Structures are given as structure tokens and as C-alpha cells.
Structure 1
Amino acid sequence: MKVALVTGASSGIGESTAVALQDAGYTVYAAARRVDRMSSLAARGIKVVKMDVTDDSSMVSGIAQIIDESGRIDVLVNNAGYGSYGAFEDVPLSEGRYQFEVNVFGLARLVQLTTPHMRAQGSGKIVNVSSIGGKIYEPLGGWYHSTKFAVEGLSDSLRLELKPFGIDVVVIEPGAIKTEWAGIAVDNLMKTSGSGAYASQAKALASFFSRATDGSEPSVIADVIVRAVKARRPRTRYAAGYLARPILFLRRVLPDRAFDAMFLSMIRRFA
């Protein structure tokens, strides 16, 4: 039986993906910092692993556990991540570094730890959950979008680098999804820039996030991930979820200034 590791599995896309992969016949390891929040996954027979993607020792021990118990790892779903918003001027560099630690360097370290086992097998799938935010941008989202742009570029390089070893690298670009992400992003935004020179922009963007609630269920992304993992020759990218494809289409066809104007107009409508 093939073995999959899903990070950020305590809620949202990660939790749904762990369930969907189990339903598809995989032995699933669900990883997150909060093991207590994965009790429902454990009750299904999914193996839960305490893992902090900013703590190297926990990642090393987590991969070692999987290899010791199952002897292989076929799928890595790098889903752990969060959105930190605020005016670039206001966000402490320590928070910018932490955003990269979670969204980029944790992902990168797990790729380093799993790749030798996949090479030895001659096969594997690495699925990096990016965002449409890896292709577009927003005011007050400089650090978050920087991390997702980095995930996109890293994934493209890895795809070529690992192809000779039978390892596929796939990028998932969710649109608006009904998860805890928006609430965390709004809290960070208002805490950081809710007063001062950027207050009006912060309030408008917070209202946009709070009122744009017609997101897709996390299972929509989970189903796409399973489809990519099972595909003999998966696509390099899958955009899915509420407004993902229309927004990415507009980004491709509109000049930068036109996209700027469209996006600012959309935020003002929600403000």
C-alpha cells in the first residue's frame, strides 16, 4: 500500500486531504503541531504525527517514524501554511522571517528529507499547496505573497531536478476556501496595521476578507490533490476553488495597471 504524508492536517484542506487519500487507499500520516485536533483522523485509522514545520528535529523524527513503520513514502503533501498580512512598513522582520519559515523553509526541509527515499524507490509525488496568491498580489500582503511566489519558483525548479528519478512535483493553487485562513489573516492585519497610516487600507481589506465568504469547501481541493496524486502524468499545476480560474485568467491577460485597478475596485466594493 502506498504511503502519504500530509502536513497542516489538523483542519481545513489538510484534514480533508488526509481523509480523501485514505479513502483512495493510501496509508496516511497526518502531521500538525496540535495532535489533539486530529482525534477524528486517528479514529478513522489515520496515523497522526506531531510535527512543527519550523522545528527541524520534529520533521526529522516524523519522517524517520514513517520509514520505520511503513518502509517507504510515496506522497508528500506540503500543506502547512498561514497568511500574515499588514503594511510592509509595519510588519516586524521577525514576522516576515517566520512567514517564510512556515510557508517556504518548512516545505523545503520536508522535500529534502523525503526525496532520498523517493529516489531509492524510483517514484514519488511531491504536492506543494501554493495559492492563487502565488500568481497575484494584494495591498498589505507583501510577505504572504512573497512566500507563495517562492513556492511556485521552487516547485518549478524541483520539477525539472527530480524528473530523472521518477518524482513528480505538482503545485496546487486554491482560490477562496472555507477554512481558518481568512480569520487568521484578518486578525494579523488589524493587529499590525489597523491604526496609523495604513488603517483605511487595512479596514477595507479586512472587510473584503470577512465578507467574501462564498468560498469552496476544503474537500474541493482535497479531491484535486487526490486526482493529481493518482495521475500517471499529473499536470504541473492545478487551480481550483472559488474564483481561482477566473482570477488567474485575468492576471494572465490584463496588463499590470489594469489588474491593479480591477483589484482595488473589487476591494472597495466590499469595504
Structure 2
Amino acid sequence: MPAKTALVTGASSGIGEATALELHRLGYTVYGAARRTDRLRELAGHGIRPLAMDVTDDASMRAGIEKITAETGRLDVLVNNAGYGSYGALEDVPLDEARHQFEVNVFGAIRLAQLALPHMRAQRSGTVVNITSMGGKIHTPLGGWYHGTKFALEALSDCLRLEARPFGVDVVVIEPGGIATEWGGIAADTLEKSSAGGAYAAQATAVASALRSEANAKRNSPPSVIAEAIGKAVTARRPKTRYATGFGARPLIALRRVLPDRAFDMVISRAVGLPG
């Protein structure tokens, strides 16, 4: 039997990089995808195959899937990890930026699933792993567009799981909590660009400070925690539909489930330094 093949998007750093290494350790032939392959050189040194891919460019995605299947004859795991956090008040964020957030976080992931599924169906096996977030179950101030993408990807994953099950294909959702990556700094930068100078400036200052907080960063989990969860999911005979892991994920999701809306609003507001 040939080695199973995995594609990991957003593999140049953080969760994607750690996942590519973990799947390689588990014996997969791993393609690590990113827009710039120069950022994949270190992974290539570990045996990961670098792949140039932009999840907002359909031709790029089609070419990537074709390359993988031509070289290996199969595709067993798709890890949709590429994404970013675009923060800012809903009133302030330009719709072009909002659309781009959805293009990267939602449409790119689902388009890759569309391209991968024919190969998985033909094999009667495969796993699509969609990285959402605890942000797909909870909400925070000034994170509306980001949370919208993650809520959407959660729902799409549930529907896809039902559709793909008769063909032997599993769909798994990974819901990271706080992870030690570049994500918080990028989200804070987009927040300040959108809302630091207007009516929401006070909120923007507080939320950006929380996103960059060194105290919070020290509590965040390493990306390897998510990579290990993905490894467990793709090697399980019957994986769980969801894996919530990383700092704060399980307690915050549970809290959202039991608290009334306004009570949860108060908890989250206070957590980011805003009046409850």
C-alpha cells in the first residue's frame, strides 16, 4: 500500500506547520501549502513537500490538487487551516475586507473540499479537517466578521459530514482555543486599522490590548496541541465530529452553552477590559 497523502494549507507557520510535521511523523506523504513557498523551506528540510497555493485563487487550488493526485495517486487528508482574523466594528470594516475574510476562511476551505472529494469518494475513504475556532461557538466585541466566518464553517462542516458519510469520507471540525501563533497580533493590527480612530476607538483600544496581552500569550497553548488533535482524528477508526482543545476552548464553549446571552456578553466584555 502506498503511503497515505495529506494536504495542509496555511503550512508556513503556527498550527499548519505543526500539523504538517505531525502528519509526516505519522507516516503520511504531506504537502504543505502556502502562498509563498520560500516560507516552507524549513518544512521541506523535514521531508514535507512544499506547494504554492492561494486559497482565494481557484486555478491555484485546482493545480495543487492535480499535482498531488498526479504524483501520489491519492488524497487521504485535507486540513483546511489557512485563515486569519479580521477585527473591527461591523460598522467600520469595509465590505471588500469582509468579503476577503470570507473568501479566505470559508470559500477557500469549501472549494478545496469540493476539489478533494471526488478523489476521496473514488477511494471510498478520506478525511476533511476544517479548522474553525472556539470563535465559531462564541462571540467577542469587534470580531463580527471573523466570528461570522467561523460560525459559517461550522455549519457547512456539519452539512458536509452528512453528505460525505455514505462515501466513506469523514468530516472533522477542530476548535482551537488560545494558541501561541501570530494570529492575535494580526487581528489587533486589522482592528486598529478599521476602528482605532472612530466612534469605537475606546473598544478598539481595549480589545487590541487584550489581543496583544503578554499575560494572555503566556497562557496560550502551543500549536502542537492542535496538531496532535488532528493526528488523533485522522488516524481514528471513527473520529469525533469535533475536537475543542487549546487554552480556554472547552470552558468557554461550555459557558456559552449554559449562560443566557446577556450574561455571556458581560463575561466576555469584562474579559477584554470593557464594562460589563
Give the TM bin, normalised by the shorter chain. Answer: over 0.9
Q: Which residue identity is paired with 1:253?
A: V
Secondary structure, counterpart of 2:273 in structure 1: helix
Partner of 1:258: 263
CA–CA separation in structure 2 for the residues paired with 1:245 and 1:146: 20
Task: Provide TM-score, normalisation by structure 1.
Answer: 0.98
What does the per-residue CA deviation read over 1:21-67, in whole Å, with 9 as the maximum and x for residues that have no partner? Answer: 00001000000001111101111111110000000000000000001
Give the counterpart letter for 2:259 in structure 1.
L
AA at the equivalent of 2:52: K
User: Which residue of the partner structure matches residue 229 of structure 1?
Assistant: 234
User: Matches of 1:189 and 1:228 in 2, distance apart?
Assistant: 34
Q: Which residue of 2 aligns with 1:208?
A: 210
Show the counterpart of 1:194. Answer: 196
User: Residue 245 of structure 2 is aligned with which of 228, 232, 240?
Assistant: 240
> Identity over the aligned pairs, expressed in percent?
65
Q: Give the distance between the partners of 2:59 and 2:105, measured in 1 at CA.
A: 17
Q: Which residue of 2 aligns with 1:8?
A: 10
| Number of the residue aligned with 1:128 | 130
For 2:80, give the aligned amino acid: N
Distance 2:73 2:268 in 1: 48
Q: How far, CA to CA, are the matches of 2:240 and 2:135 in structure 1?
A: 19
Residue in 1 that maps onto 2:118: 116
Tell me what 1:249 maps to. 254
1:52-91 counterparts in 2 under 5 A?
52-91=54-93
Q: CA deviation at 1:131?
A: 0.2
In 1, are the aligned partners of 2:203 and 2:274 still within 8 Å (CA)?
no
Normalised TM-score (structure 2): 0.97
Cα shift at 1:249 = 0.9
Alignment of 1:25-64 (within 5 A): 25-64=27-66
Structure 2 match to 1:181: 183
Coordinate RMSD, CA, aligned = 1.0
What is the deviation of 1:210? 1.2
In the alignment, the residues of structure 2 paired with residue 3 and residue 268 of structure 1 have an alpha-carbon distance, to the nearest angstrom, of: 45
Q: Runs of 5+ in structure 2 lacking a partner?
A: none
Cα distance in 2, alignment partners of residues 244 and 233 from structure 1: 22
Deviation at residue 20 of structure 1 after TM alignment: 0.3
1:180-237 Cα deviation digits (max 9, x unpaired): 1001000000111011100000000011111121210000100000000000000000
| Correspondence 1:141-152 to 2 at 5 A | 141-152=143-154
> Would the alpha carbon gap of residues 121 and 158 (structure 1) be closer, same or farther in structure 2, given more than 3 Å must change?
same
Secondary structure at the counterpart of residue 268 of structure 1: coil
1:168 to 170, 176, 180: 170
Give secondary structure in 1 for the equivalent of 2:141: coil
After superposition, give the CA deviation of every residue in 1:84-108 in whole Å (9 maximum; x if it has no partner): 0001111000000000000000001
Off by >4 Å, runs of 4+ in structure 1: none
Q: Does residue 103 of the first structure (1) align with residue 105 of the second (2)?
A: yes
Shift of 1:269: 7.2
Q: Per-residue deviation at 1:153?
A: 0.2
Shift of 1:145: 0.4
Whole-angstrom distance in 2 between the partners of 1:234 and 1:269: 39
